[in-house]
Structure 1
Amino acid sequence: MTDQQQLWDAATAQAYDTPGQGMFSPEVLAPTVEVLSQLAAGGPAVEFAVGTGRVAVPLSEAGVQVSGIELSHAMIAVLREKVAEDQMRVVQGDMTTTTAGENFSLAFLVFNTIANLLTQDDQVRCFENAARQLAPGGCFVVELWVPQLRSLSPGRGGTLEVSEPGYLLVDTYDVLQQHVISHHVQFGPELSDGPAARIARTPHRYIWPSELDLMARLAGFELESRWADWDRSAFTAESRSHVSVYRLPSA
């Protein structure tokens, strides 16, 4: 089993969905589906790291033919509880090499997931893999957070990103390797029947927007649009995330 397979195991897959809340809330999903539907322009789409279908399922319900690529068997199993194979094709494999077909109008990779690839080479290969599967003029959409290195105090290697009842998120940085490990700490009365706290760690390689643009150019894409969020708000120096739309040349 690979490190990523161990990270996205059955327990994580079963706990991943939070219907109606957080990243599954209508406020998050509705603008995401609207933008992706418009960019698909009536053609088929492929989601890299489709997971449990958080975006793919409502996008399919909106009328877009969606296929998926997913490394985790456990995440695919949860997706299959929602949608059958004949309704949404999902290919198990790594998003740097696995293909779900050709001549897609849209490929998309959301919720910071390109950062799960821990080397620059693999991140470039992900762009190249998207380009291979798109039709001429097709676009690749990447949603990604902006590294918050300005939050690092001198001599400190980490930042507190979230502090709320029952949950802490602490990020620790290796700025030489562009690696960040997110430490998710859950605690409170709901855990009283077990350990006082639970901690999970997820590793990432962070990417600056300009570096992401260069990766896209190496794969033949040009940056078409960049917004701070799915509502198409302006991207600024203070934005903490971005939605970037890259397009291949037309035939």
Structure 2
Amino acid sequence: MTSSDLWDAETAARYDEASAAMFAPAVLDPAVDLLAGLAGEGRALELAIGTGRVGIPLAQRGVDVTGIELSAPMVEQLHRRRPDLPVTVGDMATTRAQGEYALVYLVFNTIGNLCTQDEQVACFANAARHLEPGGRFVVEVGVPALRRLPPGQAAVPFDVSEEHVGFDTYDPVTQRATSHHYSRQQDGSYRYAPHHFRYVWPGELDLMARLAGMSLESRWSGWSREPFTADSESHVSVWRKDRGAHR
């Protein structure tokens, strides 16, 4: 059983509004452009497709998109916008969708939703099982902000405004972390919503890919192919399934 947080109906109903910044064309269009180019004429599978922020516009580009999503309420929100997009409800580390794909992708830090290393390793293996030989697996995820966490400091803030305060707390031993969100409500009160995740380093992801029969092809700091450097706060990585790898 996965250790991922499960988005319930209430959370799913407000997910798009809470993530409105991620729908901005400047954020979304480069991701869809890159994924469409990698998919080419082939099929694409989005792990943890959520409400379809990326999957729906990618399908609108003519890509044959399928999804896997753990939260049935999130799938309901997706199908209100795109009823014909097929989604299998299940754990992205183990659930199988039908067929083979030229592209499997996982965006917006979602690999961290799998809160153990074993689950993350299983996710890479599951992605590889879905890929045709030479197919690609793409992951977008942040680089752990531990350089901003000096000894004695318990948290790293990532957003501080009148409407929202967010900070991360880290356990460097287990690589478990929690994002703490305090969002201002219409009545002036604040709603607290924690999100648990496991942070993971780029080199660790490369090893997971190798164990699954995939090799690193590209790594950028963003969807517009910006160079990845020691100062990058996130990365978009592309691994390619070795043509001799077993399914």
- TM-score, length basis structure 1: 0.93
What corresponds to 1:185 in structure 2?
A: 182
Residue 223 (structure 1) aligned with residue 222 (structure 2): no
Write the distance in 2 (CA, Å) between the matches of 1:145 and 1:135: 27
Q: From 231, 236, 239, give the equivalent of 1:238.
A: 231
Structure 1: 4+ residue segments shifted above 3 A: 1-5, 18-21
What corresponds to 1:107 in structure 2?
A: 104
How far has the Cα of 1:18 moved from its partner?
A: 3.2
Write the distance in 1 (CA, Å) between the matches of 2:87 and 2:197: 24
Identity of aligned residues (%): 51
What corresponds to 2:25 in structure 1?
A: 26
Matched residue type, 1:63: G
Listed as ranges, the gaps of 5+ residues in structure 1 are none
Residue 209 (structure 1) aligned with residue 202 (structure 2): yes
Aligned pairs (5 A) from 1:32-181: 32-84=31-83, 87-181=84-178
Matched residue SS, 2:17: coil
Write the distance in 1 (CA, Å) between the matches of 2:110 and 2:142: 10
How far has the Cα of 1:158 moved from its partner?
A: 1.2
Does the CA contact (< 8 Å) of 1:18 and 1:24 recur in 2? no
Write the distance in 1 (CA, Å) between the matches of 2:151 and 2:18: 40
| Cα offsets for 1:168-200 (capped at 9, x unmatched) | 111111111001100001126x233xxx21110
Matched residue SS, 2:81: coil
Matched residue type, 1:242: H
Matched residue SS, 2:223: coil
- TM-score, length basis structure 2: 0.95
How far has the Cα of 1:157 moved from its partner?
A: 2.0
Does the CA contact (< 8 Å) of 1:59 and 1:66 recur in 2? yes
Write the distance in 1 (CA, Å) between the matches of 2:3 and 2:110: 15
Residues 3, 97 of structure 1: alpha-carbon distance in 2 compared, 3 angstrom cutoff: closer
What corresponds to 2:14 in structure 1?
A: 15
| Cα offsets for 1:179-225 (capped at 9, x unmatched) | 1100001126x233xxx211100000000000011011000000000
Does the CA contact (< 8 Å) of 1:19 and 1:25 recur in 2? no
Write the distance in 2 (CA, Å) between the matches of 1:214 and 1:108: 17
How far has the Cα of 1:2 moved from its partner?
A: 7.9
Residues 94, 147 of structure 1: alpha-carbon distance in 2 compared, 3 angstrom cutoff: same
Write the distance in 1 (CA, Å) between the matches of 2:152 and 2:73: 40
Write the distance in 2 (CA, Å) between the matches of 1:153 and 1:37: 41
Residues 4, 205 of structure 1: alpha-carbon distance in 2 compared, 3 angstrom cutoff: closer
Matched residue type, 2:65: V
Write the distance in 2 (CA, Å) between the matches of 1:20 and 1:4: 19
Residues 2, 250 of structure 1: alpha-carbon distance in 2 compared, 3 angstrom cutoff: closer
For these two proteins, the number of residue pairs brought into alignment is: 244
Matched residue SS, 2:122: helix
Does the CA contact (< 8 Å) of 2:178 and 2:197 recur in 1? yes
Does the CA contact (< 8 Å) of 1:143 and 1:242 recur in 2? yes
Taking only aligned residues, the RMSD between alpha carbons, in angstroms, comes to: 1.7
Does the CA contact (< 8 Å) of 2:3 and 2:116 recur in 1? no
How far has the Cα of 1:250 moved from its partner?
A: 2.8
Residues 217, 199 of structure 1: alpha-carbon distance in 2 compared, 3 angstrom cutoff: same
Matched residue SS, 2:239: strand
Matched residue type, 1:153: P
Write the distance in 2 (CA, Å) between the matches of 1:180 and 1:19: 21
Residues 221, 230 of structure 1: alpha-carbon distance in 2 compared, 3 angstrom cutoff: same
Matched residue SS, 1:191: coil
